[in-house]
């Protein structure tokens, strides 16, 4: 199973994440209203460490992409991305969202792809450049380190 992830800061306070797994592809966007990259790294760290489910959100203006990661034995991951329109910081239930993407892959393959994508963001923008572009949040260096450690320990 091929997994490709590219995360780009596309302008001041805006980012996009291109996710391609096998023959499925989606581009999701986020504004600086949420700490999208940190949320994504945090959710993946949780799954690698053994959580059965983890979530991340990409806040739009308005709208929200909600990533739901579900562990499937023995080493698989179901990724479902829901879209919620016309909302800010959604409290809506999952069933109220529109399914934008759903597929499965190996946990390790996905986690390594997220780690690589975050490293490319750091290399392209640097620590200071990231915060300048992402406005409200610093680069999630600690979460990146946690993911590296979690992968090393598996």
Per-residue pLDDT reduced to its tens digit, 16-55 = 999 999 999 999 999 999 999 999 999 999 999 999 999 9
The one-character DSSP state at 72 is: E
- 51-80 pLDDT, tens digit each: 999 999 999 989 999 999 999 999 999 999
Q: Which long-range contacts (CB under 8 A, 24 or more apart) does 83-90 make?
A: 86/62, 87/62, 87/63, 88/33, 88/59, 88/61, 88/62, 88/64, 89/33, 89/34, 89/59, 89/64, 90/57, 90/64, 90/66
pTM, two decimal places: 0.95
The answer as to CATH 2.40.10 being correct for domain 3-147 is: no
> How far are the Cα atoms of 41, 68, 84, 137 from residue 46, in angstroms, in the given order?
9, 12, 24, 21
The domains of the chain are located at 3-147
């Amino acid at each position: 199973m091929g997994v490709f992830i590219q995360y780009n800061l596309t302008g001041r306070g805006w980012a996009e994440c291109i996710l391609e797994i096998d023959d499925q592809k989606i581009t999701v966007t986020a504004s600086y209203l949420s700490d999208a990259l940190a949320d994504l790294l945090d959710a993946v760290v949780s799954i690698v460490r053994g959580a059965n489910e983890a979530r991340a959100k990409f806040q739009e203006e308005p709208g929200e992409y909600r990533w739901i990661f579900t562990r499937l034995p023995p080493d698989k991951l179901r990724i479902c991305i829901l879209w919620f329109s016309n909302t800010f910081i959604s409290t809506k239930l999952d069933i109220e969202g529109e399914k934008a993407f759903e597929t499965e892959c190996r946990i390790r393959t996905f986690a390594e792809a997220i780690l690589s994508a975050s490293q490319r963001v750091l290399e392209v923008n640097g620590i200071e450049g990231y915060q300048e572009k992402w406005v409200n949040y610093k680069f999630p260096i600690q979460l990146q380190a946690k993911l590296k450690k979690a992968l090393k320990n598996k």
